[in-house]
Structure 1
Amino acid sequence: MSSAEWQKIEVLADRSYPVYLGAPLEELGDYLHSLPEKVEHILIISHQTVLDLYAKRLMKGLEDYRVNLLVVPAGETEKSLERLSQLTTAALRYGADRKTLVVALGGGVIGDLAGFFASVFMRGIRLIQVPTTLLAQVDSSIGGKVAVNHPAGKNILGAFHPPQAVWTDFTTLESLPWIEVENGLAESIKHALIADSDLFDFFETQVDGIKRRDPSIWRMMVTRSSSVKVRIVSQDEREQGIRGLLNLGHSFGHALETQMNYRGVTHGQGVSIGIVAAAHLANAKGLITLDEVEKIEQLLQHYGLPTTISGQDPQALLQRMQADKKNQGGRKILILPQGIGNAVISKDCLDSEILAAWHHVISD
C-alpha cells in the first residue's frame, strides 16, 4: 500500500498527533526521519509472539537507529508496578535516556504498560503506539490514557501521555485469534452505542463480512470506529466531560475482571457483559426500551460475545465498583445508553439499582 492510500486522522489536543490508518510497519522508520526532534535510540516493548510475527517487518525501516527489544510476558497481570520496575532496569542497562523513543508494539496491555513506562521514565519520554490488535487499533491506542493495575482495581495507577503518533497497519489483524477480535468488537460496538447509530446498523448488516474477515469491511470498521474515539478525545482530552461516555460497560466490566483476577474473562468479554448490565440499568431508569436492550444483546451474541456470566456474587461485584476511577464523593458514576447512538453520564444510580442490573447478567 502506498502512502497515498493511507488515511490520517488528527487528534486535536494540547499536543495534537496523527493516527495513521493502513500505514505499513516497514515505513515507520521513514516517518521517524520526518520528526523535527531527532531519534537515535528506540526501545520496542512487546510480547514474544508479536515480535515473532512482526519484528522483522518493523525493523526493516529502523536500520538507521539503535534499537533494543524489551520482551514482556503476555497477560493483563503484567500491567503491574513490578513489571514497570523490571522495564526500567532493562532500559537503563541499554542506555536509555530522555531522548529515547518507546515503541509500543502490541495490543491494549502493551499499549497501557509501555505507555505508562514512557510517561514516568525520566519524567516522560516520547512514545509511538503501534497497535496490532483490533481493540488497540479502534480504542486503546488513541487518547493518551496509559496505566497499570493495582490489587484494588484495574488501571488505578495511570497518566495521560499522548503518543507522537499512532501507526496502524491493518495487516496485523490477519493473524489475530478470534477471541482477540471479540475484544475489539466489544469496544467498537460500544462506540456505535454511544455516538453513532449508523455504525450500529453497520454491525447488524455486516455480520457475515466481519466474521469472514473481509479486508474492505474490516478497514471500514476500524476507520469508522476509531473516528468515533478520535472525535470524542479531541473534544475532551482529559476526561472532564464527554470522554467519560467511552466508559460505557467498563465500570461493570472492570469490576468483573478484577473480581476474577483477570482470569476466565477477557477485557472484551467483560465490557460486553458490562454493556448489557448498563443497558438493563438504563431501561430501569427509562432511558432505553426493553426492545433496544434485546437488540443490543442480540448484536453482541451474533459476534460470539457473552451477555451473561455464571458463578459470581453481585454484592462482591458491587463492592469492587467502589474503587472505580470515575466515582466522585462516594457516588458511583455510570455511563448509560440513551437509546442507540447516544449515552449519558449518570450520577444518581442507587446500589439497589446496580445490584438489580448485575442480577440480569449473572446466570445460575
Structure 2
Amino acid sequence: MSLEKWPKIDVKADRSYPVFLGVSLEELGEFLHLQFEDVEHILIISHQVVADVYLDRLQKGLLDYRVNQIIVPAGEQEKSLERISQLTRAALECETDRKTLVIALGGGVIGDLAGFFASVFMRGIRLIQVPTTLLAQVDSSVGGKVAVNHPLGKNIIGAFYPPLAVWTDFSTLDSLPWEEVENGLAESIKHALIADRSLFEFFENEEERIKEREKSIWSEMVVRSSAVKVNIVSQDEREQGVRALLNLGHSFGHALETEMNYRGVTHGQGVSIGIAAASHLANAKGLMTIAEVDRIKQLLNRFGLPIMIPGQDPRALLERMQADKKNQGGRKILILPKGIGQAVVSRECTDQEILAAWKQVIS
C-alpha cells in the first residue's frame, strides 16, 4: 500500500519528513506499519484533557504495538527541566529504549516537551508529532524546534529535532475552546503577514465563516498556513536566514509571557500583542504606513486577539528581551513587517525605539 492515500506536503531538510493533512488518528498505525519495521514500543506523551478525548482513537490503530502513556499536567510552566527529569523516570519504568517511538499527542506545549524529551533521552529516540490544536497544526509541530523554558527566558533550552512525520487530523479542532483557536489564529495571521498577502485577505474576507467553524474554510486555513511554515523551514531548517521571519511578534510576546510567569496571557495573546508592537516599530522605521498598522490591529481585534496589555512596565519588558535567542553581540535582533505580506530582519532598533513600541501597546 502506498503513502499516496494520505494528503501531505513535505518538509525538505537535511532529513526530509512529511506533514500529513486531514488524516485520521486511527490510521497512524497503518502508516507506522508501512514505514517502520523495527518499531515495537510506542510511548505516547499527552495531558489529561487531550488524552480523555483522543487517546482511545489513536490507540485503535496501535493494537500491534506495546503502548504506554505518560500523562503530564497542562500548562506552559510544565516545559521545564524538572518535568523532563520526571518524564525520564516514567519512561524508564515503561522500559523505554533506543528503539522506542515517542508520539507527542497534544498542542504546542506537549509538542515542545515530548519533542525535547525525545531529543535527549538516550541521546535521541524517534518522534512523531500528532498536533491537536490549531496553533500546533499550523505552526509548532512543523520545523523540528523543541524546547523547555528557563526562569530567564522562554524556550532557552532546546534543540532542532525534526519528527519522522507530522500527523494532522483536522477533527481534533472540533472541540477546541475558542481561546485555543485564538492561539492558532495569531500564528496563522503572522504567517500571512510575513509571506502571503492573499492569506491575510482570506482572514479579512472569511471572518464569519472562520468564527462559525465551517469545515472547508478551516481546512483551507490550516493547509495554507501550514504551507507557509513548510516552505520557510524547507529553505532554512536551522534558522540561519529566512526562518527567523517566523519570529514576528515573538520577541515582544516571549518577553511578555516570561515577565508574567506564563500566567494571565496565552502564547497567542502574547504573539498578537507582539505583532501590534512590531507593527508600530515598523511604522516608526518607515517600513509600513499607519493605515497598514491599523489594518493589522483591526484584523487581530476582529478575532478577539488583544493588541494592548494593561499594567506592565515597558523597561522590565525591554530587559526581558535581552534573553531573546536571536540577539547577537548584545544587539537586539527583531523581525518587523514590511507592509502586509513581507517582513525583514532588523538589527538596528535602539532601546528607545523598542520602548516607544512597548508604550504603544501598554494601557
TM-score, with structure 2 as normaliser: 0.99
For the Cα contact (< 8 Å) 1:5–1:22, is it kept in 2? Answer: no
Q: Secondary structure of 1:15's match?
A: coil
For the Cα contact (< 8 Å) 1:143–1:237, is it kept in 2? Answer: yes
Corresponding residue of 1:213: 213
Q: Does 2:149 correspond to 1:146? A: no
Corresponding residue of 1:247: 247
Instruction: Report 1:1-364 matches (<5 A).
Output: 6-363=6-363
Provide, for residues 78-100 of structure 1, a one-character-per-residue CA deviation record: whole Å limited to 9, x for no partner: 00000000000000011000000
* Shift in Å, 1:36: 3.9
Q: Secondary structure of 1:309's match?
A: coil
For the Cα contact (< 8 Å) 1:131–1:141, is it kept in 2? Answer: yes
Determine the C-alpha separation between the residues in 1 that align with 2:141 and 2:9.
13
Kindly report the root-mean-square deviation, in angstroms, between the aligned alpha carbons of the 2 structures. 0.8
Provide, for residues 276-332 of structure 1, a one-character-per-residue CA deviation record: whole Å limited to 9, x for no partner: 000000000000000000000000000000000000000000000000000000000
Q: Percent of aligned positions with the same letter in both sequences?
A: 76
Determine the C-alpha separation between the residues in 1 that align with 2:40 and 2:6.
26
For the Cα contact (< 8 Å) 1:133–1:172, is it kept in 2? Answer: yes
Query: What residue identity is the alignment partner of 2:159?
Result: A
Determine the C-alpha separation between the residues in 1 that align with 2:247 and 2:115.
19
* Shift in Å, 1:5: 7.0
Determine the C-alpha separation between the residues in 2 that align with 1:82 and 1:110.
15
* Shift in Å, 1:4: 6.8
Q: Secondary structure of 1:336's match?
A: strand
Provide, for residues 66-122 of structure 1, a one-character-per-residue CA deviation record: whole Å limited to 9, x for no partner: 000000100000000000000000000110000000000000000000000000000
Q: Secondary structure of 2:237's match?
A: coil
TM-score, with structure 1 as normaliser: 0.98
* Shift in Å, 1:32: 0.4
Unaligned regions of 5+ residues in structure 2, if any?
none
Determine the C-alpha separation between the residues in 1 that align with 2:49 and 2:111.
15
Provide, for residues 142-167 of structure 1, a one-character-per-residue CA deviation record: whole Å limited to 9, x for no partner: 00000000000000000000000000
* Shift in Å, 1:35: 1.4
Query: What residue identity is the alignment partner of 1:163?
Result: P
For the Cα contact (< 8 Å) 1:131–1:137, is it kept in 2? Answer: yes
Determine the C-alpha separation between the residues in 2 that align with 1:198 and 1:7.
23
